[in-house]
Amino acid sequence: MIDRADFFAAKLAYETDASDVHAARKAGDDLVVIDVRSDEAWAQGRVAGAVHMHYSEIATRAPREIAADAEVVVYCWSPGCNAGAKGALEFAKLGYRVREMIGGFEYWVREGYPVEDADGIHHRPVDPLTGVARIRTRA
């Protein structure tokens, strides 16, 4: 029987969330964030600075486009979507250090982190049920 502490430690080794990804990027960690959703979903908006690579393309594209020693984080739409797990599996098969961003793009948006689309980078309002409102100051 697996020890509870071992179970949760293993879970955290393979999962992350929007808040931790945002904090890691802000701290300068070199993460490669991969959006594994469809072209249509990508066009509607994505994590600012993410790379678009549908999960079905990872096996052929990743070895050419993503450094083998990269720390990879994949995401799909939401907790109701398993494309992130499919993408993480493909990266893991190739030997990448990969984690899935639980909550997906939905929680990235709801927590008010930078969203990119054809018009540039935006911040949508924080959903008070999922994120902590941050006071923005002018730079």
pLDDT confidence of residue 2: 74
- CATH code of 30-115, in short, is 3.40.250.10
What is the C-alpha to C-alpha distance for residues 3 and 98, in angstroms, rounded to an integer?
23
Amino acid at 81: C
Q: What pLDDT shows up at residue 128?
A: 86
pTM for this one?
0.90
pLDDT, averaged in runs of 10, over the chain (139 residues): 89 96 96 97 97 98 98 95 96 98 96 96 90 53
The pLDDT value recorded for residue 13 is: 95
- For 115, the token pair is 């969203």
pLDDT of residue 134: 57
pLDDT score, position 130: 83
Domain ranges of the chain: 30-115
Q: Which pLDDT value is given to residue 56?
A: 98
Catalogue the E-assigned strands of 10-135: 15-17, 31-35, 46-47, 51-52, 71-75, 97-102, 115-117, 120-122
Task: Name the DSSP class of 109.
Answer: H
pLDDT at 139: 41
